Chain A
Amino acid sequence: MDLYRQLAKHRKDARWIIGGFTVLLLVLTAIYYLIQRNRDLPSGLVTEKLLLFVLLYVNVVLILTIIFVFGRNVFKLVIERQHGILGSRFKTKLLVTFVGLALVPVLLLFFVASDLLQGSIDRWFDTDLEEVLQQGNAVAQSMLDHVEQDSLLAASLIRRDLEEINLGRAIQRNQLGARLQRLLNEYRLDYLAIYAGTDFLQAVLRPDSGLAVPPEPDRRFLLEAQSAGEAIRLPPTYDGRLLLAAVPLTGVSSAESPVLVVGTTIEPDVAAQRKRLVETYQGHQQLKVQRSELLASYLLPFLMMTLFLILASSWVGLYLANRVTVPIQALAEGTRRISQGDLETRVDVEAGDELGVLVDSFNRMTAELKANKELLERSNKELVATNKRLDEERALIAAVHESVAAGVISVDPEGTILTCNRAACEMLGQDEEALRGRSITAAWADPERHKLLDLLQEAMQWRGRVTREIRLLLDGFWKVFEVKITSMRDASGEVSGRVMVLEELTELIKAKQLAAWRDAARKIAHEIKNPLTPIRLSAERMLRKHEGGGADLGRSIEEGVEIIKREVSSMEVMVDEFSRFARMPQPQPTEIDLGELVSETTRLYEGIKQGVEVETALDPAARTARLDGELMKRVLINLLDNAIEATEPPGEVTISTSRRDGTLEIAVSDTGSGIPDDAKEKLFLPHFSTKGRGTGLGLAIVHRIVSEHHGTIQADDNRPRGTVFTIRLPLE
């Protein structure tokens, strides 16, 4: 495995690639050299077996290598495509393109070159040339045929001449030499010999024949002549210059079969020319026979070069295809793994170009994804914990929400009731289902509950905190609520709704009223008791004076009566006040000029207290209103009385009016000493006074008149000092 990795590593090493190309170049150079050498070879060496063998087997090895490389890669591609491996189709296209681009021109070149070669070799065997050579050869052979025929004819004639000879007789044998000499001269032969069987018997040689010694025909030649009746030979040692013809001497008496050998020499020049003609023709014929070998010897280097180029180009194609597709496959595989959630995936492919950048980016992206996922998981855990905590808190809040005595209702900016606790439902006499999720206009459509809607709308318009006391007739019972409306804000500070807190004051007010009435009764009793004491004391003094019979009885009676009258008068005033409070008429609203009313009232106080100015600030939009003018004048007088009295010179009392979203506001402010907070709560109770004198019914009457107008009044601190009473009256 390590070895494989090392090899794979080397395979990607640029040095190995350069080395491979260098070797390829060397091989191609060697092939070129071989081709060049082949061109210079003489035709006889074209068939050099070793060269052909080497070329042939190099080609075979190359073809096998190409088949192996292609087969392996095609097999791999088929398997990859069958298994649907990503990138296999792209790789196939790339491979086909590369190999096709390389294969087509190389093969085209090879076939064109082959055709040219074949044509060139075919031209060697031009019919004209061949005919010339053939004719030359025919002439040469014909010349030899004539010599052969002449020799055989001469041999036949000589044989006839020698028929009567008996070689067994010595005398005839001795005469044989002279006879042969005669025949040699007669037939113009160069050599004449007689063999007994295969044994030399007698021979004559013409001196000018050019033969230094008599030729020695081989035994087979003689035997052939005996068996076949004639034999012809061109002894190789004479290089075609001597022709021997042999015939058996059938008519000659001999113990062994005698053979006559006739030798004819050919002129050396003629023999040489004949030899050249014959050999040239034969060489031509050899080339012709070896045409396919010849063609192969030229084609094989071309084929080898072609195969080398195909192999190199295919390999380069495969290499480039792999260079492109392997990173893509790795990226696709990595993407698939990431899609399956494996963020540990890293593409471990070496690529130096844009693909390398892509791989690096992919790995960085994966790392970031992993980091983000971890962060997300951490955040999720924190979120879950937070949610859990929030759920707990929400449950706690809900529990608190449900268990608090105050009614709590939350409304979104569109006026839909979001929450409503049990206390609120009980206070308003509505089910939670009738409230939650419903619009306030629908939930509070009835006139009484509509007041809550008005308040809420006011709060929405005001965008501030609103606190009101409100009386509602619910299910036939008057109920008094203190309603506090505040805004809910989200994290960005935007108003996300309103919270309405209802606190039922009915029982509290009843209790307060009871206490107030008790206090009032105590005070009334005290007030009644106060005049009674001087009345009783005056009555007792008058009785004592009467019993004592004093001289000053009359004066005492006068003084006593005066005191009693004064005290009774005081009691009457007090009783009248209560009577008026008790007999407060129902308001009769009419359209009045509010400015006029304010001006008329303030005129009463002009210069009433030195150093205290009475100012007005009237809103033209609040010029008119539908109110009971008399009652409202009484309200203003009471408030102005108190304000002027509370303001020490230099000071200022201001009455202002304004109109705000269907509500009329009348504010009376002073720059006096102000009212303590604990006293503010009791200000509007009957017979409560901070002045230490008076009946303490003024503000109670004011409160009652405002309430009768369905309005509210509240006392707040004036800035920078003093008190401001604000009356809010609905305009509709």
Chain B
Amino acid sequence: MRRRRRIGWSTVLVAWLVASAVAADEDRPTLDHLQVAIGNQQIAISAELDNAFDDELRERLASGLPTELTYRFALYKDRKRWFDGELAKSTYQVIAMYNAVSREYLVNFKHDGKLTETRVVRDLVELERAMTALDRVPVFDLMDLRPKVQNTAEQSRLLVRARAELGSDRWLFVFPTKTTTDWVRSRKFRLNDTP
């Protein structure tokens, strides 16, 4: 009797945990439509970050604090029977800051820490698009990459893994934690594939 009751409670607990996880998963930000394009000696990435603009982020943006979305990319050599080999890493940051006096959003784009673009938008929708929609963003420079992977990269199949970091929080008010998406993988490609 006691054992049956224990099993019952365990089942309820597991079901609750699974349901909570699924519910939480639905609202989680995800990085979708990851696409790779090769051209002009560059590997450009297109992707869309969904569910990123929640109330918390909007509140933060409205407060005028610098709000950053960081996209991390990693280029891998595909291996069939072993772990993929990492070839290069790259970071793309989108930092938005609202000026309540001028009622503008200043959006800065940085690639590997270097400022590449600055944009001013007045509309939140436009801001969301600017921050979450990556359209052929050049991430890896083939000129930089080629010396490292000269022999293998052109012949091997490559893939890009990407993840977005939406900010940090604190666990128990002390330990910083990051809100991130899962790592997503692009389709596999070769450097000599035509775009």
The one of A281, A289, A296 that contacts B170, using a Cβ cutoff of 8 Å? A296
Is the Cβ of B63 less than 8 Å from the Cβ of A286?
yes
Question: In the complex, are the beta carbons of A144 and B103 less than 8 A apart?
Answer: yes
The answer, among B64, B102, B104, for a CB contact under 8 Å with A286, is: B64
Cβ-defined contact, B64 with A282, below 8 A: yes
Would A289 and B101 be within 8 Å (CB), given that A299-B173, A300-B174 are in contact?
Answer: no
A295 near B100 (CB under 8 angstroms)?
no
Residues of A contacting B146 with CB < 8 Å? none
Interface string of B118-142 (1 = CB under 8 A from A): 0010100000000000000000000
B176 at interface, CB cutoff 8 A: yes
Contact status A233-B173, CB under 8 Å: no
| Interchain CA distance A59-B102 in the complex, whole Å | 41
User: Interface 1/0s, chain A 54-91, versus B by CB < 8 A?
Assistant: 00100110000000000000000000000000000000
Residue of A at shortest CB range from B59?
A289
Residue B169 CB within 8 A of the other chain: yes
Query: Which of A59, A234, A296, A303 makes the CB contact (< 8 A) with B103?
Result: A234
Q: Which residues of A contact B62 (CB under 8 A)?
A: 285
B122 nearest CB neighbor, chain A only: A232
A residues within 8 A CB of B12? Answer: none
Question: For A303, what are the chain B residues with a Cβ–Cβ distance below 8 Å?
Answer: 174
Q: Give the total of B residues in contact with A, Cβ under 8 Å.
A: 21
Q: Mark each residue of chain A from 116 to 149: 1 if its CB lies under 8 Å from any CB of chain B, else 0.
A: 0000000000000000000001000100100000
Within 8 A of A (CB), among B16-42: none
Q: How many A-B residue pairs have CB under 8 A?
A: 58
Minimum CB–CB distance for A124 against chain B, Å: 14
Are B63 and A289 within 8 A (Cβ)? yes
In the complex, whether A625 has a CB less than 8 A from a CB of chain B is no
B25 CB → nearest A CB, Å? 24
Contact A290:B65 (CB < 8 A) given known A220-B120, A296-B173, A300-B174 = yes
Residue in A closest to B60 when the chains form the complex, CB atoms? A289
Contact of B174 among A236, A274, A290, A299 (CB under 8 A): A299
Contact between chains at A285 and B63 (CB < 8 Å): yes
Is the pair A293, B170 in contact by a Cβ cutoff of 8 Å? yes
Q: Which residues of B contact A293 (CB under 8 A)?
A: 170
Q: Does the CB pair B64–A233 fall under 8 Å?
A: no
Looking at the assembled complex, report how far the CB atom of B140 sits from the nearest CB atom of chain A, in whole angstroms.
29
Interface of A is mostly: helix
Return the contact of A288 from the options B63, B98, B104 (Cβ within 8 A). Answer: B63
**Interface size of A in residues (CB-CB distance below 8 Å):** 31
* Whole-angstrom distance between the Cβ of B83 and the nearest chain A Cβ: 30
- Complex formed: what's the CA distance from A295 to B102 in Å? 30
User: CB within 8 Å of A: which of B41-75?
Assistant: 59-60, 62-65
Task: Given A56-B174, A56-B176, A290-B65, check contact A281 B102 (CB 8 Å).
Answer: no
Which residues does chain A contribute within 8 Å of B60, judged by CB atoms?
Answer: 289
Across the two chains, which residue of chain A brings its CB closest to B168? A293
Nearest residue, chain A, Cβ from B106: A236
B101 near A234 with CB under 8 A, answer: yes
Which residues of chain A come closer than 8 Å to B170, judged between CB atoms? 292-293, 296
Complex contact A278–B101 (CB within 8 A):
yes
Nearest CB in chain A: distance from B80 CB, A = 41
> Which one of B98, B120, B122, B174 has the highest number of Cβ atoms from chain A below 10 Å of its Cβ?
B174
B108-125: which residues lie under 8 A (CB-CB) from chain A? 120, 122
Q: In the complex, which residue of chain B has the Cβ closest to the Cβ of A293?
A: B170
A296 and B170 alpha carbons, distance in the complex (Å): 8
Q: Is A286 touching B65 in the complex (CB atoms < 8 A)?
A: yes
| Shortest 3 CB-CB contacts between residues of A and residues of B | A285-B63, A234-B102, A286-B63
6 A-B pairs within 8 Å (CB atoms) are namely A56-B176, A141-B103, A240-B102, A282-B100, A289-B59, A289-B65
Q: A279-B100, A285-B59, A296-B173 are in contact. List 19 more A-B contacts (CB 8 A).
A: A56-B175, A56-B176, A60-B175, A114-B173, A233-B102, A233-B104, A234-B103, A236-B99, A275-B101, A281-B100, A285-B63, A286-B64, A288-B63, A292-B169, A292-B173, A293-B170, A296-B174, A299-B174, A300-B174
List A residues at the B interface (Cβ < 8 Å). Answer: 56, 59-60, 114, 137, 141, 144, 220, 232-234, 236, 240, 274-275, 278-279, 281-282, 285-286, 288-290, 292-293, 295-296, 299-300, 303
